[in-house]
Amino acid sequence: MTDKKRYFVENMWYAAAWQYEVSEADNKLARTICETPLVFYKGRDDNYIALDDRCCHRAAPLSTGRIEGNCIRCMYHGMLYDETGQVVEIPGQEHVSKSLKVRSYPVEEKGGMLWIWMGDPALANTEDIYDFPALSDRENWRGFDKEAYLHYNANWLLIVDNLADFSHVAFVHTNTLGGSEAYAYSTLAENIQKEEDGFSMERWHRDSNNPPFHAKVVPPEEVDNKVDRANIIKMGLPGVFLMETLFAPVGWEEKHGRDNVREYRNCQFMTPETKNTTHFFWNYLHNWNIDDPAISASLKESLLEGFMEDKVIIEEQQKLLERSPDFVPRAIAADEAFVHFRNKWGQRLRQEDADNPLVYKENKRSIL
How many other CB atoms are found less than 10 A from the CB of residue 261? 18
Q: For residue range 8-61, list pLDDT tens digits in order.
A: 999 999 999 999 999 876 789 999 999 999 999 999 999 999 999 999 999 999
Backbone angles phi, psi at 354, to 5 degrees: -70, -40
Pairwise CA distance, residues 15 & 273, whole Å = 11
Diameter over CA atoms, the chain: 77
pLDDT in tens, 245-301: 999 999 999 889 999 999 999 999 999 999 999 999 999 999 999 999 999 999 999
Taking 60 as the threshold, does the pLDDT of residue 3 lie above it? Answer: no
What percent of the chain is modeled with pLDDT above 90? 84
3-state class (DSSP) for residue 248: strand
Which residues, 6 or more positions from 127, have their beta carbon under 8 angstroms from its beta carbon? none
Q: 232: which DSSP letter?
A: E
Which amino acid, residue 193? Answer: Q
Q: Quote helix, strand, coil % in the chain, to nearest 5.
A: 30, 35, 40
Q: Mean pLDDT over residues 101-110, rounded?
A: 97
188-225 b/e (C-beta count within 10 Å ≥ 16 → b): ebeeeeeeebbbbbbbbbeebbbbbbbbebbeeeeeee
Which strand (E) or helix (H) includes residue 229?
Answer: strand 227-236
Average pLDDT of span 330-336: 91
Q: What average pLDDT score do residues 184-193 get?
A: 87
213 pLDDT more than 60? yes
Mean pLDDT within 331-351: 95
The proportion of the chain whose per-residue pLDDT surpasses 70, expressed as a percent, equals 99
3-state secondary structure of 42: strand
Structural domains in the chain, CATH included, are 2-125 (2.102.10.10), 130-351 (3.90.380.10)
The whole-number pLDDT of residue 60 equals: 97
Is residue 149 over pLDDT 70?
yes
For residues 251 and 243, give the distance between their C-alpha atoms in angstroms, rounded to a whole number: 21
pLDDT score, position 181: 85
* pTM (predicted TM-score): 0.94
Average pLDDT score over the chain: 94
Between CA 133 and CA 283 the distance in angstroms is 13
Compute CA 47 distance to the chain's CA centroid, rounded to the nearest angstrom. Answer: 21
The whole-number pLDDT of residue 59 equals: 96
Burial class (CB in 10 A: 0-12, 13-18, 19+), 24: exposed
161 pLDDT higher than 70: yes
Q: What is the predicted pLDDT for the residue at 15?
A: 98
Question: How far, in whole angstroms, is CA 272 from its chain's centroid?
Answer: 9
| DSSP classification of residue 341 | H
pLDDT winner (highest mean) among 18-27, 161-170, 232-241: 232-241
Q: What's the pLDDT score for residue 318?
A: 98
* pLDDT above 80: residue 2: no
Centroid of chain to Cα 78: 34
Strand, coil or helix: 204: strand
- Pinpoint the alpha helices (H) of the chain: 20-23, 133-136, 156-164, 168-172, 182-186, 212-215, 293-323, 336-355
Q: Which residues contact 4 (CB under 8 A, 6 or more apart)?
A: 358, 359, 360
Task: Please answer whether residues 156 and 144 qualify as being in contact, where contact means their C-beta atoms are separated by less than 8 angstroms.
Answer: no
Residue 25: what pLDDT? 65
Task: Check residue 241 and give its pLDDT.
Answer: 97
CA-CA-CA-CA dihedral for 136, 199, 129, 50, to nearest 10? 110
Q: Is the bond preceding 238 in cis, omega lying within 30 degrees of 0?
A: yes
Helix H or strand E encompassing 192: strand 189-195
Q: How far apart are the C-alpha atoms of 280 and 159, rounded to whole Å?
A: 9
Mean pLDDT of 79-87: 98
Q: What is the pLDDT of residue 1?
A: 39
